[in-house]
Chains A and B, each alone.
Chain A
Amino acid sequence: AQSVTQPDIHITVSEGASLELRCNYSYGATPYLFWYVQSPGQGLQLLLKYFSGDTLVQGIKGFEAEFKRSQSSFNLRKPSVHWSDAAEYFCAVGDDAGKSTFGDGTTLTVKP
C-alpha cells in the first residue's frame, strides 16, 4: 500500500525567505505525486502535480517541486514566501486505481 510522510508538522519562515516543505512517499510503481494547499476554513487546492517527464514541476502561486526517485521524495519549494502563503500543505501519492493517499500535512506560518 502506498504511504506519504511529511516529516515537518509545523514550519515558520519570515516573509520573503525561501521555503522547502519535505515529502517522502512509498509506492511500488511510478508514483503520481501532488501538492495541495488548504487555507483556513477552505477546501484543498491543487498546487502542482507530477506524473512523468521533467522531474522539476512548476505550479501555481510561484511554487515548484522536484521529484527524486532515488530518495523517494517530492519536496515543495518557493523562493520567496508571501504572508498569504500561510496555510496547511498536503503531499499526496496516487495509484493506478485513482486512489490518493495524503500525508498528515505541514502547517506553514509566515512571520512578518
Chain B
Amino acid sequence: DTAVSQTPKYLVTQMGNDKSIKCEQNLGHDTMYWYKQDSKKFLKIMFSYNNKELIINETVPNRFSPKSPDKAHLNLHINSLELGDSAVYFCASSYQGQYEQYFGPGTRLTVT
C-alpha cells in the first residue's frame, strides 16, 4: 500500500493553462504539505494544512490554490501556468507535533 500518493506523476502543459495535482495519504496523519523542488533540487515549502485548515502559507503566487477536502487529501490547483512553474512538486504528511514527514513520489510539471 502506498503511504502518500500523488497523481499525475508527470504533467506537461502549455503556458496559460490551469492544472491540478492530487495527493492522498493513508497513514492517518492530520497534517499535509506541498513542496516545490526546482531544477537545482532546492526544496521549498509552499503550504501546510492541519485537519483541513491552512497553517503555513509561504510566499507563493495567488495562482496556486491548495484545497483539502478532508485530512487525507490535499490538492494543488495552479492557474495561468508560467514557465517558472516547471518543477517537481512533492506532497508530504505528518502527525502534528511529530514533525517527521512522509513524502509522496512527486509530480514533475513541465510548462512549455
Contacts and interface: CB of A to CB of B under 8 A. Distances in A.
A and B are interacting partners: yes
Interface stretch (B39-47, B60-68, B79-87): B39-47
A90 interface: yes
A39 B100 CA distance: 18
Interface residues of A, number: 24
B103 A44 contact: yes
Given A98-B50, A104-B42, A42 B97 contact: no
Contacts, number: 57
A14 to B, nearest CB: 24
Given A97-B55, A97-B56, A98-B55, A105 B41 contact: yes
Nearest to B43: A102
B50 A100 contact: no
A11 interface: no
B97 A98 contact: yes
Contacts of B40: 104
Given A43-B90, A98-B55, A105 B99 contact: no
Interface residues of B, number: 25
Contacts of B102: 46
Interface in A5-50: 32, 34, 36, 38, 41-46, 49
Given A98-B96, A99-B48, A46 B55 contact: no
Interface of B: 4, 31, 40-45, 48, 50, 55-56, 90, 92, 94, 96-97, 99-106
Interface of A: 32, 34, 36, 38, 41-46, 49, 51, 88, 90, 94, 97-102, 104-105, 107
